[in-house]
Amino acid sequence: MGNYKDLEFEFIERSLALISQYEGIATGFDFKEQYNYTLLINCLLGLIVMPKERIISYIPQERLTQEFKKGIGLENSKVNGDIKNLKELIIALRHSIAHFDIKVESHNKKFLIDEIVFMDNSNSRDYEIVRFKANELLPFINYYSGWLMDNLKKYRRNS
């Protein structure tokens, strides 16, 4: 693929495509060599960090009600109660990703990933931002990124 015409939009689009392409070939690898969560966490640079830094005004500010969280795929994940809207969640996630304050937890004997926890360990505090159930992180990222891309298409003036 060539150069970017619209870096922010296309970086999000290409990050999502990269995840999708990998999902299409991952089953061709031995289970121990499938790194879907590693790829997803790497892609959060383009899906969370860059948008917060470059296009923050396009990030939706929808309130994080139980109904809304369920609608965006966060049925069993736990978002810190101090975080009131989607934009606040994305900003907090950005800090966690940028400082790699991320924990991966397993609750089974096979040591499979059950939860991905994003923390804020700044100022010597151990603050949990969100505890994603492993199967809910990608649907959330897809939903949020799609909404962000729609906002860019709808409200951004092309230069």
Q: Measure the N-to-C terminal CA separation of the chain; round to a whole number of Å.
A: 21
Token pair 């990050």 is at which residue?
Answer: 15
Angstrom CA distances, 72 to 27, 32, 65, 139, stand at 26, 30, 11, 7
Res. 100: pLDDT tops 90: yes
Domain boundaries, the chain: 7-155
pLDDT at residue number 159: 45
pLDDT in tens, 52-93: 999 999 999 999 999 999 999 899 999 999 999 999 999 999
Give the amino acid at 46: G
- Mean pLDDT on 94-120: 93
Residue 88 makes CB contacts below 8 A (sequence gap 6+) with none
The pLDDT confidence band at residue 123, using thresholds 50, 70 and 90, is low
Q: Which residues of 142-151 are buried (b: 16+ CB within 10 A; e: fewer)?
A: bebbebbbeb
DSSP state, 4?
A: -
- Mean pLDDT on 122-130: 82
How far is 137 from 36, CA to CA, in rounded Å? 11
Look at residues 58, 106, 73 and name the one whose alpha carbon lies nearest to residue 50: 58
